[in-house]
A and B are shown apart, each in its own frame.
Chain A
Amino acid sequence: MDLYGSGERLEVIAEEDTEPETETETEPEPEPESAQEKLHSADQGADRYGMWDKSSIDLDLPTREPYVLVAEKTGEPPGPGGGEMMAAVGGGKGLPGNKETGSPPLSKFQRFSVETNESLSFEPYIPSDEEGDEVFEEEEEEPGTGVRGGSAGDTAAREAVEGLARGDDDDDVDGFCTECKTPVLSSLGLHNNHRVVQIPTAAEEVKNDLCDTMRKLEEQIAQMENFAGHLEEIFITVEENFGRQEQNLEQHYNDVIQTLTQRYDERASGLQDDKKVRLEALYAQLVHCGKTLDASKELIEAAQEVHREEDKLAFLEAVIPTMDRIEDFTKEELDLKLSPSIEFENCAVDLSDVKQMMESINIVPAPSAPVINPQVGNSAGSTTVRVCWSLFSDDTVEYYELHYRPVLENSTLEGTQPPKESNVKVKETYRTVTDLLPNAQYEFWVTATNTTGISPASEKAVYMTVPSSPIIKPRECTSCPTAALIRWESGNSNPVDSYTVELNEASDDTTTVTESIVAVPTCECLVQLQPGRHYCISVRAVNIGGPSERSSPVTIHTTGTCFHLLEDTAHPCLSISEDGFTMLYEDDDRPISDMIFSDNTFARCVGVLGELIPVRGTHYWEVEVGESTEFRIGVAYRDTQRNGILGGNNTSWCMRHTVTPSRHKYEFLHNGWSPDIRITTHPCRIGVCLDYDMGKLSFFNATLPQHLHTFDCHFLHYVHPCFSLDHPGALTVHNGIEAPDCVRFV
């Protein structure tokens, strides 16, 4: 037991030992404070892992395959083999030098074996704390003997083997072959062609594998549980169904028997009655015959009596009435016919109804009318609807027939043909009907049919197809850093209930909608946005059937303000380029009378208005002008006088550039007045900054940037960019530009 003698060594072991302990999350070991405590704690750890003994054996081991030993051991009860190991334990104890180096890998190996649940797990052999303590005590009692008490024999033997196994590793194992699933000594080279990794890595890998396997198992369990639940349900249903069938059968048979009994009774009493009637008739006839017979006999006797009369005269006198009576009597014909028929009427027994009843025991009744469901959300497309219905649970149905026809809004009008009815056979209790018109109502009803017959029709249900997608009009959408005004066409000829505007920040994933604005009643919507982002905005039309498909999106960049020119305000001489941002005033020889002016077009100055988004805040845009272009650029109220000149009235503010023979002249005009300002460098790109909040309209030479002038004016209404050209030339508007910093210093 010299290993207890050296505190240093124990410290080493203790440190090494605590590491795996914490990692394997066994009980946390308190920090050892003295050498003795360290020693004790080391022992505890060691005992838990069965370390001391094992570590001392390894030298004598003939093999480097610790698993062989363990496998043997698990296979056989501890017997002589164990004893041998015991001896080996004793022998090994005298060689502490090896233990020092051996201990740390041992502990690692132990950790590995416990955690991975490999087939060669040592788990069963890890002595419990109690056992460990016992062993430990014994060791202390009998230091250096190498002989264990019999009571601890088994444990000790196991530990010995185990220790042997691990002890072997202690020295050698420094890697783990992932193919042989074996800890190896990499220097041996036996696994040269295999992937050998560090033991902790290996442990981690195998642990991960195990976790995966466990996860799979868990999934399987979940699946099985689901399936079992399903089976239970089916079980109950089947049971119920059979119960119902049994009931049905019994009832049917009872009906048949009852009917038969009734028939029997009816026929039996019929027979009785018949018998009675006939017998009575026969009896009456018999009685009548008897009477006739008596009368005949009486006449004969009377005749005989007359015949015997000796006295001829008396005879003659008497014979005449007698003769008359006989004559009378014989005149009556004898009724010798049987008055009642004695033949039995072989009346055929009509059992057809019974037969039918018997048959009907095996056939199902015709179904009752199915119940059609009202339309549910998301069941319709623009040309399709999914119709659902249900039947009474005991009905058997071979197929359904779904009937539908469009509901005409103006069907009450005279002379309209009732719309054509369509129908379709369906096996299921639902059907997706296609080729319908968008945003239209259809009425549906359904019948069920089986071998017995057809059910009555269900109630009629009205389903509605969703509208067609709206069409966004990108040229009429305007935006600024904090909002966008989106405009669209309905895309449907008849009105829809509302629109839903969906926006998401543009990214790879365009399907996730970050915000929806619902119940938009008109074909435009002002959407609040965050500055400096990119948004994809699309629109759906909605009716009671649900929302349409998304329109193709419009992309909005909230870097700057974007507007478009209102071409309907443009003076006839001013043409707007294809992209809508360049305005061109060309020499036009047309007489004024040839030009078409509307109420909305600028008539006096060759100008045009832009449409700015109706959002207060700050807007910035730039205008590219030529060196000698004579222009007026600024803002104006939407209703600024069309026959006025920009800057010449109190509804417009503008910067004017003119070229005089001596110099470029710049004016900042409002209400016809301008301050006297000289500018030494001609601005070829003019920045215009409109700040509603501060009530300022500023002009800049955007290329420098140089502040040129600021109007202080509190705008009562929204203003719009305005442009005009005093002489032929061109102006180009640049939108979507972030306002430069200089606009803050005006």
Chain B
Amino acid sequence: MKSFQDQIVLKTAGSMALTQVSSNKCCGGFQKVFEHDSSELKCRMKFGIYLPPKAESASECPVLYWLSGLTCTEQNFITKSGCQQSASEHGLIIVTPDTSPRGCNIEGEEESWDFGTGAGFYVNATEEPWKANYRMYAYITEELPRLINAHFPADPEKMSNPGKYKAVSAFAPICNPIQCAWGQKAFGGYLGADKTAWEAYDATVLAASYSGPQLDILIDQGRDDQFLSAGQLLPDNLIAACTEKRIPVVFRLQQGYDHSYFFIFSFINDHIKHHAKYLNA
């Protein structure tokens, strides 16, 4: 991986300096963790990146961005999901950002597991005291992709976000945060009381008004997921919205699975193939 290091040294001559935290050979490629100063989040951020063997031969690879859920860091996915096997096979780079800014010393950020640190909710906060740091949406849709494209052999044409991303998939997503307790707490905290502002971050609302390019969405949901029965995830709302708008979704309710990484590990290959189908087309 000397070539990467050389590249990095070269490119970090600019403002966006990357520091390698770890590097482990994995499935023929390398699983690395980098640290950098985020301009959006105004803190030191870590992210994981898996570089498949194909990336070593200097050809550009499509990038898959994995957004972890509540309480996670960049580590959970890369250590538990077993995604590298399939990513290596299909030549995908997988970027795993952290879930929130860290160490910003904002009052209350460590108070609960479902808000603040480890629960960034990928929104651009508009409320004090969060709005200075909690700009995860901007971070993961702009700053981080820019950073990745500048430092790694990433194919910038092949990435996404409805309209921006080519393929979408999810494991047990919070499909309709406006309607669930987690979402209401987080959106209220980050975005304020005006619920119309929340809608920009609600998948079900977004789907109902979607008019971007054709999507193909794969969602896996464990049937024995405690948060499903607790009404936090609400996939039926998203399915109904997508059925209404004829957005193609395959939603698989997997019998007996819960909300754990064991569930994710079981189906990660299907998801990577789902993305590879579009990213390698």
Tell me the dominant secondary structure on chain B's binding face: mixed
Distance A91 CA – B251 CA, assembled complex (angstroms): 108
Most chain A Cβ neighbours within 10 Å, of B243, B255, B276: B243
Distance A707 CA – B276 CA, assembled complex (angstroms): 12
Q: C-beta contact mask, A110-131 vs B, less than 8 Å → 1, else 0?
A: 0000000000000000000000
Quick check: is A283 within 8 A (CB to CB) of the other chain? Answer: no
Distance A745 CA – B218 CA, assembled complex (angstroms): 13
Quick check: is B273 within 8 A (CB to CB) of the other chain? Answer: yes
Distance A677 CA – B248 CA, assembled complex (angstroms): 13
- Whether A741 touches B242, Cβ cut-off 8 Å, given contacts A677-B253, A680-B247, is no
Quick check: is A439 within 8 A (CB to CB) of the other chain? Answer: no
Chain A residues within 8 Å of B274, by CB: 707, 745
Q: C-beta contact mask, B224-251 vs A, less than 8 Å → 1, else 0?
A: 0000000000000001001100111111
Number of contacting residues on B, CB 8 A? 24
Q: C-beta contact mask, A648-680 vs B, less than 8 Å → 1, else 0?
A: 000000000000000100000000000111111
- The chain B residue with its CB closest to the CB of A679 is B250
Quick check: A678 and B249 within 8 Å, CB to CB?
Answer: yes
- The chain A residue with its CB closest to the CB of B253 is A676
Distance A677 CA – B221 CA, assembled complex (angstroms): 10
Quick check: A676 and B249 within 8 Å, CB to CB?
Answer: no
Quick check: is A742 within 8 A (CB to CB) of the other chain? Answer: yes
Quick check: is A348 within 8 A (CB to CB) of the other chain? Answer: no
Quick check: B214 and A704 within 8 Å, CB to CB?
Answer: yes
Distance A745 CA – B277 CA, assembled complex (angstroms): 6
Distance A692 CA – B216 CA, assembled complex (angstroms): 26
Most chain B Cβ neighbours within 10 Å, of A677, A701, A704, A707: A707
Distance A706 CA – B90 CA, assembled complex (angstroms): 18
Chain B residues within 8 Å of A741, by CB: 277, 281
When the two chains form the complex, which single residue of B214, B246, B273, B281 contacts A680, counting CB atoms closer than 8 Å? B246
Chain B residues within 8 Å of A675, by CB: 252-255
Quick check: B242 and A680 within 8 Å, CB to CB?
Answer: yes
Quick check: A681 and B247 within 8 Å, CB to CB?
Answer: yes
Task: Give the shortest distance, in Å, between A676 (CB) and chain B (any CB).
Answer: 4
Quick check: is A708 within 8 A (CB to CB) of the other chain? Answer: yes
Task: Give the shortest distance, in Å, between B185 (CB) and chain A (any CB).
Answer: 28
- Whether A681 touches B251, Cβ cut-off 8 Å, given contacts A704-B214, A742-B277, is no
Distance A680 CA – B246 CA, assembled complex (angstroms): 6
Distance A678 CA – B248 CA, assembled complex (angstroms): 10
Distance A37 CA – B251 CA, assembled complex (angstroms): 91
Quick check: is A221 within 8 A (CB to CB) of the other chain? Answer: no
- Whether A746 touches B273, Cβ cut-off 8 Å, given contacts A680-B247, A706-B216, is yes
Task: Give the shortest distance, in Å, between A340 (CB) and chain B (any CB).
Answer: 138
- The chain A residue with its CB closest to the CB of B239 is A678
Quick check: A680 and B251 within 8 Å, CB to CB?
Answer: yes
Distance A325 CA – B231 CA, assembled complex (angstroms): 190
Chain B residues within 8 Å of A709, by CB: 250
Chain A residues within 8 Å of B255, by CB: 675-676
Quick check: is B36 within 8 A (CB to CB) of the other chain? Answer: no
Distance A681 CA – B216 CA, assembled complex (angstroms): 10
Distance A708 CA – B251 CA, assembled complex (angstroms): 9
Quick check: is B11 within 8 A (CB to CB) of the other chain? Answer: no
Task: Give the shortest distance, in Å, between A658 (CB) and chain B (any CB).
Answer: 16
Quick check: A676 and B252 within 8 Å, CB to CB?
Answer: yes
- The chain A residue with its CB closest to the CB of B272 is A745
- The chain B residue with its CB closest to the CB of A703 is B248
Distance A742 CA – B247 CA, assembled complex (angstroms): 18
Quick check: A681 and B239 within 8 Å, CB to CB?
Answer: no
Distance A706 CA – B216 CA, assembled complex (angstroms): 6
Distance A741 CA – B281 CA, assembled complex (angstroms): 8
Quick check: A681 and B277 within 8 Å, CB to CB?
Answer: no
Quick check: B250 and A708 within 8 Å, CB to CB?
Answer: yes
Distance A12 CA – B232 CA, assembled complex (angstroms): 96
- The chain A residue with its CB closest to the CB of B244 is A680
Quick check: is B158 within 8 A (CB to CB) of the other chain? Answer: no
Most chain A Cβ neighbours within 10 Å, of B243, B253, B277: B277
Distance A678 CA – B276 CA, assembled complex (angstroms): 22
Quick check: B277 and A678 within 8 Å, CB to CB?
Answer: no
Chain A residues within 8 Å of B277, by CB: 707, 741-742, 744-745
When the two chains form the complex, which single residue of B218, B248, B253 contacts A681, counting CB atoms closer than 8 Å? B248
Quick check: B250 and A707 within 8 Å, CB to CB?
Answer: yes
Distance A680 CA – B239 CA, assembled complex (angstroms): 6
Distance A681 CA – B218 CA, assembled complex (angstroms): 13
Task: Give the shortest distance, in Å, between B64 (CB) and chain A (any CB).
Answer: 13
Chain B residues within 8 Å of A701, by CB: 248
Distance A675 CA – B249 CA, assembled complex (angstroms): 16
Distance A40 CA – B216 CA, assembled complex (angstroms): 84
When the two chains form the complex, which single residue of B218, B223, B276, B280 contacts A676, counting CB atoms closer than 8 Å? B223
Task: Give the shortest distance, in Å, between A225 (CB) and chain B (any CB).
Answer: 66
Chain A residues within 8 Å of B254, by CB: 675-676
Which parts of A685-732 form the interface with B (CB within 8 Å)? 701, 704, 706-709
Distance A676 CA – B251 CA, assembled complex (angstroms): 8
Chain A residues within 8 Å of B216, by CB: 704, 706-707
Task: Give the shortest distance, in Å, between B28 (CB) and chain A (any CB).
Answer: 20
Distance A261 CA – B67 CA, assembled complex (angstroms): 133
Distance A680 CA – B216 CA, assembled complex (angstroms): 10
Task: Give the shortest distance, in Å, between A146 (CB) and chain B (any CB).
Answer: 79
Task: Give the shortest distance, in Å, between B209 (CB) and chain A (any CB).
Answer: 16
Distance A679 CA – B219 CA, assembled complex (angstroms): 10
- The chain B residue with its CB closest to the CB of A708 is B250
Which parts of B97-151 form the interface with A (CB within 8 Å)? none
Distance A676 CA – B224 CA, assembled complex (angstroms): 13
Distance A676 CA – B252 CA, assembled complex (angstroms): 6
Task: Give the shortest distance, in Å, between B212 (CB) and chain A (any CB).
Answer: 15
Distance A744 CA – B281 CA, assembled complex (angstroms): 11
Quick check: B276 and A745 within 8 Å, CB to CB?
Answer: yes
Quick check: B252 and A680 within 8 Å, CB to CB?
Answer: no
Task: Give the shortest distance, in Å, between B164 (CB) and chain A (any CB).
Answer: 19
Chain B residues within 8 Å of A677, by CB: 250-253
Distance A675 CA – B218 CA, assembled complex (angstroms): 15
Distance A746 CA – B250 CA, assembled complex (angstroms): 14
Distance A529 CA – B281 CA, assembled complex (angstroms): 27
Chain B residues within 8 Å of A676, by CB: 223, 252-255
- The chain B residue with its CB closest to the CB of A664 is B243
Task: Give the shortest distance, in Å, between B123 (CB) and chain A (any CB).
Answer: 25
Distance A663 CA – B251 CA, assembled complex (angstroms): 14
Q: C-beta contact mask, A397-426 vs B, less than 8 Å → 1, else 0?
A: 000000000000000000000000000000
- The chain A residue with its CB closest to the CB of B242 is A680
Quick check: A663 and B243 within 8 Å, CB to CB?
Answer: yes
Quick check: A678 and B253 within 8 Å, CB to CB?
Answer: yes
Task: Give the shortest distance, in Å, between A661 (CB) and chain B (any CB).
Answer: 14
- The chain B residue with its CB closest to the CB of A742 is B277
Chain B residues within 8 Å of A745, by CB: 90, 273-274, 276-277, 280
Quick check: A681 and B246 within 8 Å, CB to CB?
Answer: yes
Task: Give the shortest distance, in Å, between A678 (CB) and chain B (any CB).
Answer: 4
Which parts of B248-281 form the interface with A (CB within 8 Å)? 248-255, 273-274, 276-277, 280-281
Which parts of B194-213 form the interface with A (CB within 8 Å)? none
Distance A616 CA – B35 CA, assembled complex (angstroms): 51
Chain A residues within 8 Å of B253, by CB: 675-678
Chain B residues within 8 Å of A744, by CB: 277
- Whether A678 touches B251, Cβ cut-off 8 Å, given contacts A742-B277, A745-B276, is yes
Chain B residues within 8 Å of A708, by CB: 250
Task: Give the shortest distance, in Å, between A301 (CB) and chain B (any CB).
Answer: 169
- The chain A residue with its CB closest to the CB of B281 is A741
Chain B residues within 8 Å of A707, by CB: 216, 218, 250, 274, 277
Q: In the complex, given contacts A676-B254, A706-B216, A709-B250, what are 6 additional A-B residue pairs having Cβ atoms less than 8 angstroms apart?
A: A675-B253, A677-B251, A677-B252, A678-B251, A679-B249, A707-B277
A-B contact pairs, 21 of them (CB 8 A): A663-B243, A675-B253, A676-B254, A677-B250, A677-B252, A677-B253, A679-B248, A679-B250, A680-B246, A680-B248, A680-B250, A680-B251, A681-B242, A681-B243, A681-B249, A704-B214, A704-B248, A707-B218, A708-B250, A741-B277, A744-B277
Q: Which 10 pairs across A and B sit closest by C-beta, in order of nearness?
A: A745-B277, A676-B253, A678-B251, A680-B242, A680-B249, A745-B273, A680-B243, A681-B248, A706-B248, A681-B246
